[in-house]
Structure formats: C-alpha cells, structure tokens
Amino acid sequence: MNNIPQIKVGIVAVSRDCFPAPLAVNRRKALAEAYTKKYGKDDIYECPVTIVESETDMVAALEDIKKNDCNALCVYLGNFGPEISETLLAKHFDGPKMFCAAAEESKDTLGVTGRGDAFCGMLNASYNLALRNTRAWIPSYPVGDAEDCADMIHEFLPIARVVVGLANLKIISFGPRPANFLACNAPIKQLYNLGVEIEEESELDLFEAYQKHEGDKRIPDVVADMTKELGDNKMLPKLAQYELTLLDWVEEHKGYRKYVTLTTKCWPAFQDMFRFVPCYVNSRLTARGIPVSCEVDIYGTLSEYIGICITGEPVTLLDINNSVPKDMYKEFIEGKFDYKHSDTFMGFHCGNTCSSKIHNAHLDYQKIMANTHPAEWCEGTIEGDINPGEITFYRLQSTADNILRAYAAEGEVLPVATQSFGGIGVFAIKEMGRFYRYQLIGKNFPHHGAVMFGHYGKALYEALKYIGVDPKEIGYNRPAGVRYEDENPFA
C-alpha cells in the first residue's frame, strides 16, 4: 500500500558518562544484530553516535538519524543513561519515539565495568519526559536483552505508522451528511488537534468532475481490472469512470499532504445524479490503502486509516446492524461456538468491503435504496458474506463536546451463512450485549464501526494512547464480572 508510511527507526544508544560507554555501544550492536536476524534490516538504522552526558552529542545523534531518513526514534538505554540529553533528543526529534533499556546479561558481569543499571535509568527517563511534556511510547515491560528489545521495536512499528500517517493525512469529504444521519457528524476541531487536515467539498463538484471524465482513455484498462476481479458487468464503465475521478481528485487536492482518505455522501441524491452507487469503487480504493467511508462519516474514514496503518491490510466500515435471530442462533451457533446469543450480532454495509475479505463476491444493487429508487440506479454494490476469522471492531470519535473517545473489541466472524444481502457477516464478541449497552450506547457512539481483520487490540490501544486519547476514554468489552461505571450492580 502506497498510502501509508514506511517506518525507519533510528536506534540511538545512550550512555551516562560515569558508566563505560562501550557497554552501551556493544549492547546497541547486539540489539541491531538481533533485530536484523529476526525481522530484517529495512526497518532500522543503527546510529553510530553514542550519547554521553552531553547536549552536543545529542545534536550529533539527531542530525545523523535525520540525515539517514529516520522517521521514528528508539532511545536505547545501554546503561543508566543521561536523563537530560536523552530526553532532549526525544523532545527535538520530530516524529514518534520509544524508549527501552538493556537488561543485565549474566551473574558474571555485575561488576563495575559490566553492570549497566538501565533498569534504574528508565525511571529517570520517564520522569524527565514528563517534565519536558514529551510524548514517547514505553513498552509494557521496557527492559530486556537484545532479542527482547528487538521485539519491542517491532511492536512499535504499527504505532509509529499511525503517528506518522496522521501527521501527514488529509481527509477529503464530499457533501453534507444525509438527512437522519446526523450521528455521523462530529466536531472537526479534534482532527486539527491530531494533526489531520480536512477539505470539505460539494457533491456537485464531484459530479462535475465525474462528467469531465467521460470518455477518459484510461477507462478500458480499469474496466479490464474490474472484470478480472468480479467478472463482466454492464455497470463497469461507469464505475471505472468514477474510480478515476476519485483518484485524480486525490492527486490534485492532496496539497502538501502525503496521505489521503475520502468520505462521500452516497445517497440519496447520488443515485439520482450518477445513476449508480459508489460502494464497489469505495472497496477498491480501500484495498489500495485509501479508505472511502460512507455517509460522510469523517471519523469513520479516520478510524479506517488508523487500522490500515496498524495492519498494512484492507479494513472495512460496517453498521453495527442487526441482531442474530434466535432460531438462527439455536441452529447454527448454540453448542457449536462458545458464545451467548447476546454475544452475537450482524455487521453490515451496502457493499463497501473489498473482495479479498468476502466470499462469493459479486456485483449487485442496493436493495434498501431500491425501495425509493429504480433498481438500475442502485447498482454498484459488492456483496457476499464476510470471510470467517478473527477481527477487531473499533472506532475513534470526537464527542459533541469535543472529547476524543474510542473503543476496541476483539472477536471473530463466525462461519455461519448470513442468509441476507449486502456485505455482511455474523460477528461474535465476548460480552457484546453489555459492551453494546454500556459502551456503544452509553458513551454515545454512532452506528458505524471499523473492522480490522485480525486481533490488533494491543497495538490499537497503544497507538490511541500515543496520539493523545485519554486511556479512560478507550472502552473495551469488559469480561463477565467486571462492571462498567454505570452498570447496575444488581441487574
């Protein structure tokens, strides 16, 4: 995907001047070797400058990692570390940063030349980061040997992708929210607080741009690609014309930003004017790392982009849509899977999930919209049941009073036929019923949730904290016996 950043972590070992510098240097070399052996060398750069208790050495290290195109930083305490210069390095580095520390190697190296005391130094580092109002990621247990710290740096990569991605992201939205979908609206102030730019455009401008792409010489190639994906269909030339319209708009309007996401008003005027629905094109762009959310859901496309940065794979945006009928639960789920009926629900959207994430994918028409429009105007959905497997359901949202709030819940799509329409799946999340009532409803979240295909709750939680979401505002599906704040203890 070319719409998310590639991370290169500069590893800078720090050494306090009363400790032997070679201890930090040798440990840094061992860390770089351990990372390269396990994960390859493309993600890291080993900075040769060893910081002692010197601000000038800090400047030299900073210049070196910038010169070598590092967009993320790992401050590695090879020994106790110089709390001033190491945190100044983090303060002045313009990008995501992490701290980790070397563990002692052996009972035979605990003498004055072999003991590093980085376990102690991490405490002073964290204290000084707070003094300087400098945000950095610190792993859950930040002290380890070379292999342990290599794993920590690798765990940092998706967090860093989110931070760098949002700092260079523009969201382009088309049209006001549809009537009766005010829930997708939210204050945009928090977008600016996150470093995200937003460009709000008219749906009429989009329609004009679409008309100007009629007869575009690139349309046959896009049609051929679509045919290879889903087979031939008379709608493909229109859909290809629309896809080229969006891609050209991205290039012409991204400005100084590196990455772009989109959100569109996909009904009801869209069908009246374009005479199709945009769902399949949205799915194709999302598969390329450019999420396109429905119903002008600005925080929906932001959530999707965060998920793409974490996973490096397509995500989707679904309605938390309908309950699983009791007879369906009893026949296909009860006794076969370890879920209560209230743990299950159906996630659905008209047809925006990319073909790699659904089976029996096919083009169709939007059946709900066809209640008020001719069916031939509603063609363009990609439909099929979502592939079974692990998922993370999540969302980042600004509340009406301008507070960043999020949720995350790990679960799965069950291998149960939905017997329904659209892009849809039977989802199961432990204690979903309580999560639905006390988190989603209780914290006023809208009906859209983003989906990562896999269990990524840990990385998502750390990324949300890093970008500034208060941990108290990150909800999750609490286990049985662990109450929500406003849950009746007698219920």
What is the tens place of the pLDDT at every residue in 296-311?
999 999 999 999 999 9
- pLDDT class of 81 with cuts at 50, 70, 90: confident
The answer to whether 410 and 478 have CB atoms below 8 angstroms apart is no
The per-residue pLDDT for 92 is 97
Is pLDDT at 194 greater than 80 in this prediction?
A: yes
Partner residues linked to 425 by β-bridges: 347
Domain ranges of the chain: 9-165, 168-476
Q: pLDDT digits over 42-70, tens only?
A: 999 999 998 877 899 999 999 999 999 99
Q: What is the pLDDT of residue 182?
A: 67
Residue that is written with structure tokens 């590695």 in the block: 76
Q: Do residues 105 and 31 lie in contact, with contact meaning Cβ atoms separated by under 8 Å?
A: no
Summarize the confidence of residues 114-129 as an average pLDDT. Answer: 90
- With beta carbons less than 8 A apart as the criterion, state whether 445 and 183 touch: no
168-476 matches 9-165 in CATH topology: no
pLDDT (tens digit per residue) in 140-182: 999 999 999 999 999 999 999 999 999 999 999 998 776 766 6
Global confidence as pTM = 0.96
pLDDT of residue 491: 81
C-alpha R_g of the chain: 25
- Residue 171 and residue 164 in contact, taking contact as beta carbons nearer than 8 Å: no
Q: Mean pLDDT score of the chain, rounded to an integer?
A: 94
Q: Is pLDDT of 243 > 80?
A: yes
Cβ-Cβ contacts under 8 Å for 290 (sequence gap 6 or more): 3, 250, 260, 261, 262
Asked if residues 52 and 21 have their Cβ atoms less than 8 Å apart, the reply is yes
CA distance 316 to 283: 8
Q: Quick check: 269 pLDDT over 90?
A: no
Grade residue 41 by pLDDT with cuts at 50, 70 and 90: very high
Q: Which CATH class is domain 168-476?
A: alpha beta
C-alpha span between 29 and 394 (Å, rounded): 39
Q: With a cut of 70, say whether residue 183 has pLDDT above it.
A: no
Half-sphere exposure of 397 (CA within 13 A, CB side): 27
Question: 78: closest CA among 121, 45, 36?
Answer: 121
350 has a pLDDT exceeding 70: yes
Residues pairing with 344 in the sheet = 428
For residue 400, the SS3 value is: coil
pLDDT at res. 20 = 82
Q: Would you tell me which CATH number, out of the four given (3.40.50.2000, 1.10.3480.10, 3.40.47.10, 3.40.50.10940), belongs to the domain 9-165?
A: 3.40.50.10940
Does 368 have pLDDT greater than 70? Answer: yes
CB atoms within 10 A of CB 368: 12
Span 255-261, mean pLDDT? 97
Contact 298, 198 (CB under 8 A): yes
